[in-house]
Amino acid sequence: MSKRRTRKVKITKGEKMLYFLGSFSLVMTLIVQIFCGANVGSLNLKVEKLKYDINAQNKRNESLTMKVNELTSFDKVKDIVKDMGLAYNNDNIVVINDNQ
């Protein structure tokens, strides 16, 4: 039988440092991705909630604008004036023209 020569593979300090830094950077990259993904998800939820709130406020504004237009219509004002006992006199209306 012949003897086999076995070499013992030695890992130098520099190689150990490179392996350590490589594995450390891989782990840190994964942690940062998870953390950033969680933040993005949280921000997306906040954005959707704000969009919903904005839409709800726009609907309220439209409703209030319609009520204002309804209350300031000529027919409504005319009914209120009649209820108060006042009369509409067309002779008292003065028209001012800005075109000189």
- Centroid of chain to Cα 71: 34
Structurally, the chain folds into a number of domains equal to 1
Identify the pLDDT of residue 85. Answer: 84
**Domain membership of residue 60 as a residue range:** 14-89
Identify the pLDDT of residue 16. Answer: 93
Q: Is 13 in contact with 21 (CB distance < 8 Å)? A: no
User: Tokens at residue 30, please?
Assistant: 């994964």
Ranges under pLDDT 70 in the chain: 1-3, 100
Examine residue 65 and state whether it is found in any structural domain, yes or no. Answer: yes
Examine residue 24 and state whether it is found in any structural domain, yes or no. Answer: yes
Give every CB contact of residue 87 below 8 A, 6+ residues apart in sequence: 81
d(CA 65, CA 88): 27
Identify the pLDDT of residue 29. Answer: 97
Per-residue pLDDT of 36-65, as tens digits, reads: 999 999 999 999 999 999 999 999 999 999
d(CA 80, CA 62): 24
